[in-house]
Structure 1
Amino acid sequence: MAEPEIQTPHGTGNSNDKMMPLVVYILYLTGFVVGITPVIGVIMAYINRGTAPAWLQTHYSLQIRTFWIGLLLSIVGAITALIFIGWLVLLATAIWFIARCVKGLMHLQRGEAYPDPATWLL
């Protein structure tokens, strides 16, 4: 079943509208240095998702899913870190997390909706 395509303003979006998702992406990426910032970012994404235009809601949905999936994979990696595979899971999770944020930033910068925020991949 095909989902309806979300119309994107292609650069006509208010820069103030883009500011909050941008802040959330930055908070997520700074989480590798300051551990609490992704928690602040996901709270901001939950707060702003309902009032945002449809194309920005895709970014907020991506950010929320990225946080929870990343947390789940990090817990699995931490539990299995006693054996070598856990370190690989943590490394793969970090790369996946960064890649999703960078891809989201690229779409946000162009004023586009995120293509498939419900995916577990990129």
Structure 2
Amino acid sequence: MTDEMPPDDVKGLSLLTLTHIMYGLFALGTVGVMFLGAGAIAALVVAYLKRADAAGTVYAAHFDWIIRTFWWGVLWAVISALLALVYVGWLAGLATLVWLIYRIARGWLALLAGFAPTSDR
């Protein structure tokens, strides 16, 4: 897998647009209703459905980034809910929200720069 965007062809342009849409949906779903927003779930479904189409491109790294961010966010949201029983769940929930916003921003900015979200550029 390369760290740079492939040449702009029909497949690449549609994957680029699709990836922007997924980040937008995830951001709306996260900020709109903490983490349980329908937009975040829609972004996850699209990432799973289009994962094979993105194989071998930098977009595959973005799809994996979105999928991992979603599932780790679910884990931390559940832990936050459990911690709410001892009145510290709001701190964990806030930390989860900040982490999710960071992951979405880092991924989206990497997409705009033309790199994988995990590259050191």
Shared fold, TM over 0.5 = yes
Q: Quick one: distance in 2 between partners of 1:19 and 1:57?
A: 14
Corresponding residue of 2:92: 89
Secondary structure class of the residue paired with 1:50: coil
Q: Mean Cα displacement is larger for which, 76-85 or 43-52? A: 76-85
- TM-score (norm. length: structure 2): 0.82
Q: Quick one: distance in 2 between partners of 1:87 and 1:7?
A: 37
Corresponding residue of 1:19: 17
Q: Quick one: distance in 2 between partners of 1:16 and 1:101?
A: 20
Query: Which has a greater percent of helix?
Result: 2
Corresponding residue of 1:49: 51
Write the letter of the residue equivalent to 1:93.
T
- TM-score (norm. length: structure 1): 0.82
- Tell me how large the CA RMSD over aligned residues is: 1.8
Number of aligned residue pairs: 111
CA shift, 1:111, in A, is 1.3
Q: Is contact 1:56-1:113 (8 Å) kept?
A: yes
CA shift, 1:38, in A, is 0.8
Q: Quick one: distance in 2 between partners of 1:9 and 1:95?
A: 28
Q: Mean Cα displacement is larger for which, 73-82 or 26-35? A: 26-35
Q: Is contact 1:73-1:93 (8 Å) kept?
A: yes
Q: Quick one: distance in 2 between partners of 1:60 and 1:36?
A: 18
Q: Mean Cα displacement is larger for which, 71-80 or 29-38? A: 29-38
Corresponding residue of 2:2: 6
Secondary structure class of the residue paired with 2:118: coil
Question: 5 Å matches for 1:70-89?
Answer: 70-89=73-92
Secondary structure class of the residue paired with 1:75: helix
Describe the shift of the 1:79–1:9 C-alpha distance in structure 2 as closer, same or farther (beyond 3 A): same
Runs of 4+ in structure 1 deviating by more than 6 angstroms, as ranges, are none
Q: Is contact 1:74-1:90 (8 Å) kept?
A: yes
CA shift, 1:97, in A, is 0.3
Corresponding residue of 1:33: 32
Identity of aligned residues (%): 30
Q: Is contact 2:20-2:108 (8 Å) kept?
A: yes
Corresponding residue of 1:120: none
